[in-house]
Chain A
Amino acid sequence: MNVIVEREKGLLELEQRIAALKAQAAQQPVDMGGVIQALEAKYAEIQREVFGTMTPWQRVNMARHPKRPLGSDYLAAFDQFDELHGDRHFHDDHAIIGGFAKLRGRRVMAIAQDKGRDTREKVMRNFGMPAPEGYRKVTRLVALAEHLRLPVVTFIDTNGADPGIGSEERAQAEAIAQSLYELADAQIPIVATVIGEGGSGGALALGLADRVLMLEHSVYSVASPEGAAAILWGDAARAEEAASRLRLTSDDLLQFGIIDEIVGEPLGGAHRDAGGTIARVLDAVDAALGVLVKVPLPDLLDRRYMKFRRIGAPVS
């Protein structure tokens, strides 16, 4: 059960009543402007009350909202996208979609995690949990981007890497380690955006970037709240408690210097205006790239090194 979806139910009822009254008013000569206005004011008030401040757990649920824009929605909003499939060894992992793209006229390599929208697609995309082949696809595409001097743009949205027998047999750890290793020294600018859930190493494998953006109500954490609760207390059901302690919201992470920029969402979440939200994210990515492509390469790599080097420098 998604707590945001639950809270939206009351609002949805009001929304329908307002729409019905408006339709009625259009047909009848009776003036209902006052009633409609009062209802709209009430609606706005409830919306502010429900979404104005959200707890970390509510943010987790917003990040997992069934209508939230997915990686493929962002790719579809590029000027142009040509998918490149597979890891060249074993399999084409559909939890990660990548390929050549044009963003505001600029040629880039775009790579996105995608959880899938309906049941069929969710199964096809393994609920957005990449197998080693997904990460090996990333490694391969980043190398190709470097070869062609194309900047890399990634979109992060995963609960974590696939925890399955096959993924372990094919060395999931090695696949993630190599994706990080490739990004560490890729001689092109990299911009990563957390658009939904950033869960553990499976998310970070696309997140070693020159600039890291985060959609306001996305979350990014050391493990999914369920995973962290299981590790800490042997009880995945204590996810809400874990979420409240992990400091996984965009404000927290901006404060820690782990992300560089927050892209705002409309009141009620990205899905209330998917097109507008996606456009704002792509604008922010484009602006970041515009700055990064002008940085001389040695400086770019030095800054990338220092950006992560200074995170969590401990007290001596």
Chain B
Amino acid sequence: MPEWLRLRRAQPIPAEDAAQWTKCPKCSEMIYRPDVATNLWVCPRCQHHFRMHAFDRISMLVDSDFTEIGGDLLPGDPLGWTDKVPYPQKLDRDRAKSKLTEGVVCGFASIGGFPVALGVMDFNFRGGTMGTVVGERIAQLFEQARDRRVPCVVFTASGGARMEEGMLALMQMAKTTLAVRRFHDDGGYYISVLTDPTTGGVSASFAFQADVIVAEARAAIGFAGRRVIEQTIRQKLPDNFQTAEFLLEKGALDVVVERRDLKALLMRLLDYGVGAKQASNGRAAVTPAAALPSPSETRA
């Protein structure tokens, strides 16, 4: 079991966060952080869903253990990118700040007894942008899920493609799509959970390629950034524009869920997708074709 998961299991509130007060960005209420943490990072007063750290998310979902894959894959600096600071420095800074090695954590676990491949993106790391490592980890997750014949659950949170990796970042949309498609065509079952925010290249690839697309309540979801659209049309957009509820209304999502109901929903969704297959496989084994009446017998 990873150290971070053991710590969260042993003591749900990280010591470093204890005795901290924070202001809810939605209702502006000063709230005690441990209270928010024990409430699944939901404001006890207004139900605002805080963006979750990938480790907290995984800890909230998995039954016991989590085996990470691809954690040792680290980004290079393919473009030799420098603006205010060199790209490698930005990565170092985000690593220190987020305790993550990249913008997604992938691995294997079980949720409510169902073995799953689980990927969780984290907005704390370069805005959850997809570069080569995020693309590679997601592709590996789907490839290994296909080999192990387990469903795949991916939580998205992303500002889109990572500019500092240029076209190599954009191409991760193609890479992840190919992996998702292969997994699906081989009978794989994929549930995506769109969390705040899911935009750009991630929304336009694996986020919207799932068999069932779930979104967390009030998450911002879209392709183009809100600011870009406002600048293009030169007017303010309504508050509910590009929210999960807005897209549900437009028919783009299967279901929108409050965080407190999320795990139970996932378990039911996994049961529909995996349970029926197991049951039908079981039936096939006990009911061989020979035992069925032949067409002529049926007619007679």
Contact = CB atoms under 8 A, between A and B. Distances in A.
B154 interface: no
B132 A201 contact: no
A173 B208 contact: yes
Interface string B149-175: 000000000011111011111111111
A167 B223 contact: yes
A108 to B, nearest CB: 21
Interface in B250-280: 250-252
Interface residues of A, number: 53
Contacts of A294: none
Nearest to A306: B178
A198 B180 CA distance: 24
A208 B174 contact: yes
29 contacts: A163-B223, A163-B228, A167-B223, A168-B241, A172-B224, A176-B204, A176-B223, A177-B206, A177-B209, A180-B177, A180-B204, A180-B209, A181-B209, A185-B185, A201-B170, A204-B174, A230-B227, A231-B160, A233-B83, A246-B79, A246-B163, A247-B79, A256-B78, A305-B178, A308-B171, A309-B139, A311-B172, A313-B132, A314-B73
Interface of B is mostly: helix
B99 to A, nearest CB: 19
Interface of B: 72-76, 78-79, 81, 83, 131-133, 135-136, 139, 159-163, 165-175, 177-182, 185, 199-201, 203-209, 221-225, 227-229, 231-233, 237, 241-242, 246-247, 250-252
B252 A222 contact: no
Nearest to A207: B174
B173 A312 contact: no
Interface in A205-220: 205, 207-208, 220
Contact of B178 (A172, A223, A309, A315): A309
B166 A221 contact: yes
A247 B166 contact: yes
B251 to A, nearest CB: 8
B229 A181 contact: no
A164 B242 contact: no
A167 B163 CA distance: 23
A181 B180 contact: yes
Given A201-B173, A232-B83, A247 B167 contact: yes
